[in-house]
Amino acid sequence: MVGFENLVEVPPMRKNPVGYDVPEGVDIRGRYDAEFATILTRDALQFVASLQRQFATHIKYAMDCRNEAKLRYNRGALPAFDPATKPLRDADWLCAPPPPAIADRRVEITGPVERKMVINALNSGAKVFMADFEDALAPNWENLMRGHINLRDAVRGTISYHDKARNRVYKLNEQTAKLFVRPRGWHLPEAHVLIDGHPAAGCLVDFGLYFFHNWSAFRRNQGQGFGPFFYLPKMEHSTEARIWNNVFTAAEKMAGIENGSIRATVLIETLPAVFQMDEILYELRDHSVGLNCGRWDYIFSYVKTFQAHPDRLLPDRVLVGMAQHFMRSYSDLLIRTCHRRGVHAMGGMAAQIPIRDDPRANEAALELVRKDKLREVLAGHDGTWAAHPGLIPAIAEVFDAHMGGGPNQIQSAKREDAAGVQAEDLLQTPRGVRSMEGLRLNTRVGIQYVAAWLTGSGSVPLYNLMEDAATAEISRVQNWQWLKYGVELDGDGLGVRVTPELFGRVVEEEMERIEREVGKERFSKGMYREACKMFARQCTAPSLDDFLTLDAYNHIVLHHPLASSRL
Ligand SMILES: CC(=O)SCCNC(=O)CCNC(=O)[C@H](O)C(C)(C)COP(=O)(O)OP(=O)(O)OC[C@H]1O[C@@H](n2cnc3c(N)ncnc32)[C@H](O)[C@@H]1OP(=O)(O)O
Ligand SMILES: O=CC(=O)O
Ligand SMILES: [Mg+2]
């Protein structure tokens, strides 16, 4: 592999029991496949291992800090701007300017790293494609390894796919979207890759393998001297951004490329992180291309952060949108912060997707997407996300019409008025009712999502909306919160309280409904019962699990040679 001549001290080759050639201290416990072996080369694994060894203690420390913060919030503290970093927030400084190749990001499509979708997304007409190892991917071994093969082939321009059922061959167009990759969050381990006897950090495996195999071709074909480009999910504090910055610096050094070549957009999708936006940008200032409003995880994080605050209960999930004061304040402050620092302020994902068999419902869904995007572009966002290629023309039309002719609004929408956004605005409890239908929908969606995830699909259409790990988390934690505090369902005039008995009945009835909807055969072949057990346990647990996918992950780990696989 080119460019890794700086990778010193490559230890002697060793054969692991599964069949991969691994460096000392690395063990691959995922299924052997000759194609996977082209990704899991000894040099690539050595690179991942070097990142893991450099940063494991930093990651552990950051996760310990998250736990300490959780304890503080559970004792009644509120997230707040850090007085110690006020001078940094008040000072004038800028991030490195956005690379010309990605100055214009008005529509970004996202999706899992599945082969056909990668081609469709790159050909979709969007400016950017965010290939997702996070919310949209169930990170089983096959998905992960095939995802890396797909991305490598995409970056080289050689990717193709033959849909045998339709006898259709998919290839890349002349013009394609620029590729960003979203590795997993810090919290997720990769149990098939053991380094010095411990599971590697999932995000370092995702980042390391992708960077190692693609940095050179990427910069030639896509980055015009910059890149590769990344999206960074689910951070809670700027110390976590500092780790990413150091990972990037280490990777650039090993590849022998200039500091600041790698660029990343950070998703602001946790409640603590909204108080750290300047600090996060500052840590990544040489590597930053802005921030993004990860609205779904942000709502999830609101519930999680306030899990011990019964005065901050959410209304029905469908009512917690961008029009709520706390959500609007977050988007406004994000735009102001990014533009002040000279980088993109990206909007988020509307959950509506095209509805093929009902033109009126389809038009209504499109109208909701247009409205959401209009709000974003008028607020000053520089671009936004699309979940489906069918939405891109409508979204592009809204952004084209209101962006004022430039590639972005970094200079034209400073939003100084948002300097007045206060902690109270960011924390204001969302308003609305709670209903039995809300409880039922959370349950129906949560179970079906987990069932899909366990069988390898990380993003699915449910009831004409996109569901992924972030949206499903809202369903889970909202049920948990309502159960924990025995809330009254005031939205349907029944005045019923949410109790374990009521929830038990709802689960039973919703399982029956799911079986009717998907059909007996699919129901019996799928993993609905396992999903139901897992989802119900999490909703009724005495203390809130940090992530739905952490427990579920244990069920998709398949060690080879076959052995106990629970972490
Ligand atoms: C909260 C967050 O983190 S948001 C970001 C993470 N979530 C995502 O990225 C979700 C991405 N979107 C998707 O996964 C899908 O659009 C779904 C699951 C919501 C809907 O999927 P489906 O119902 O299968 O889509 P549908 O059948 O309408 O697809 C039609 C075509 O569009 C393609 N397509 C749909 N969505 C995408 C996408 N996001 N990227 C690329 N192609 C896509 C399909 O591959 C299909 O192609 P084909 O006609 O060549 O066969
Ligand atoms: O990752 C995006 C989100 O909304 O969550
Ligand atoms: Mg997210």
Q: Which two tokens stand for residue 288?
A: 């930053």
Instruction: Tell me which residue has tokens 């004022």.
Output: 404
Say yes or no: 281 and 316 in one domain. Answer: yes
**Is residue 135 flagged as an active site residue?**
no
Query: For atom 3 of ligand 2, which residue has the closest CA?
Result: 294
Query: Is ipTM beyond 0.90?
Result: yes
**Cβ(349) – ligand 2 distance below 6 Å:** yes
Stretches where the chain sits below pLDDT 70 are 1-15, 562-567
State residue 493's pLDDT score.
Answer: 85
Buried b (16+ CB within 10 A) or exposed e, 133-158: bbbbbbbbbebbbbbbbbbbbbbeee
State residue 497's pLDDT score.
Answer: 97
Q: How far is the CA of 22 from the centre of ligand 2 (A)?
A: 35
The burial class, CB within 10 Å (0-12 / 13-18 / 19+), for 38 is: middle
Q: How far is the CA of 304 from the centre of ligand 3 (A)?
A: 14
Domain presence at residue 183: yes
At position 58, the amino acid (one-letter code) is H
**Cβ(296) – ligand 2 distance below 6 Å:** yes
Domain presence at residue 474: yes
Say yes or no: 343 and 477 in one domain. Answer: no
Say yes or no: 363 and 277 in one domain. Answer: yes
Say yes or no: 57 and 142 in one domain. Answer: yes
CATH number of 183's domain: 3.20.20.360
Domain presence at residue 95: yes
State residue 23's pLDDT score.
Answer: 97
Domain presence at residue 30: no
Say yes or no: 405 and 441 in one domain. Answer: no
**Cβ(473) – ligand 2 distance below 6 Å:** no
Q: How far is the CA of 111 from the centre of ligand 1 (A)?
A: 6
How far is residue 279 CA from its own chain's centroid? 21
In 417-548, where do the E strands start and end? 460-462, 465-467, 488-489, 496-497
State residue 367's pLDDT score.
Answer: 98
**Cβ(147) – ligand 2 distance below 6 Å:** no
Cα(408)–Cα(103) distance, rounded to whole angstroms? 7
Q: Which two tokens stand for residue 169?
A: 């061959």
State residue 563's pLDDT score.
Answer: 55
Cα(150)–Cα(165) distance, rounded to whole angstroms? 20
CATH number of 490's domain: 1.20.1220.12
State residue 1's pLDDT score.
Answer: 38
Test site for ligand 1: of 109, 113, 115, 120, most ligand atoms within 8 A of the Cβ: 120
Cα(115)–Cα(312) distance, rounded to whole angstroms? 42
Query: For atom 29 of ligand 1, which residue has the closest CA?
Result: 388
Question: How many domains is the chain built from?
Answer: 2
Q: Do the bridges between strand 496-497 and strand 488-489 make them parallel or antiparallel, or are there none, so unpaired? A: antiparallel
Domain presence at residue 19: no
Consecutive H or E run containing 567: none
Q: Which two tokens stand for residue 522?
A: 């699919």
pTM: 0.96
**Cβ(484) – ligand 1 distance below 6 Å:** no
Say yes or no: 84 and 142 in one domain. Answer: yes
Q: From the candidates 33, 135, 468, 545, which is the catalytic residue?
A: 468
Answer with the one of 392, 427, 462 that is the final residue of a domain: 427
Answer with the one of 393, 427, 461 that is the final residue of a domain: 427
For residue 88, the tally of other CB atoms under 10 A from its CB is 14
Q: How far is the CA of 367 from the centre of ligand 1 (A)?
A: 19
Say yes or no: 167 and 246 in one domain. Answer: yes
Domain presence at residue 56: yes
Answer with the one of 427, 444, 471 that is the final residue of a domain: 427
State residue 286's pLDDT score.
Answer: 98
Query: For atom 9 of ligand 1, which residue has the closest CA?
Result: 111
State residue 3's pLDDT score.
Answer: 40
Say yes or no: 395 and 454 in one domain. Answer: no
**Is residue 497 flagged as an active site residue?**
no
3-state SS string for 116-178: HHHHHHHCCCCCEEEEECCCCCCCCHHHHHHHHHHHHHHHHCCCEEEECCCCEEEECCCCCCE
Domain presence at residue 202: yes
Say yes or no: 400 and 451 in one domain. Answer: no
State residue 477's pLDDT score.
Answer: 98
Tell me the per-residue pLDDT of 192-205, one tens digit each, with 9 for 90 and over.
999 999 999 999 99
Cα(146)–Cα(144) distance, rounded to whole angstroms? 6
Please answer whether residues 254 and 5 qualify as being in contact, where contact means their C-beta atoms are separated by less than 8 angstroms: no
Tell me the per-residue pLDDT of 125-158, one tens digit each, with 9 for 90 and over.
999 999 999 999 999 999 999 999 999 999 999 9
State residue 47's pLDDT score.
Answer: 98
State residue 561's pLDDT score.
Answer: 77
Q: Give the structural domain span for 194.
A: 45-427
Ligand 2 atom having least distance to the Cα of 296: 4
Would you give the end-to-end CA distance of the chain in angstroms? 33
Ligand 2 atom having least distance to the Cα of 470: 5
Cα(218)–Cα(261) distance, rounded to whole angstroms? 11
Say yes or no: 171 and 88 in one domain. Answer: yes
Say yes or no: 258 and 162 in one domain. Answer: yes
Domain presence at residue 151: yes
Say yes or no: 196 and 137 in one domain. Answer: yes
Q: How far is the CA of 548 from the centre of ligand 2 (A)?
A: 15
Please answer whether residues 384 and 130 qualify as being in contact, where contact means their C-beta atoms are separated by less than 8 angstroms: no
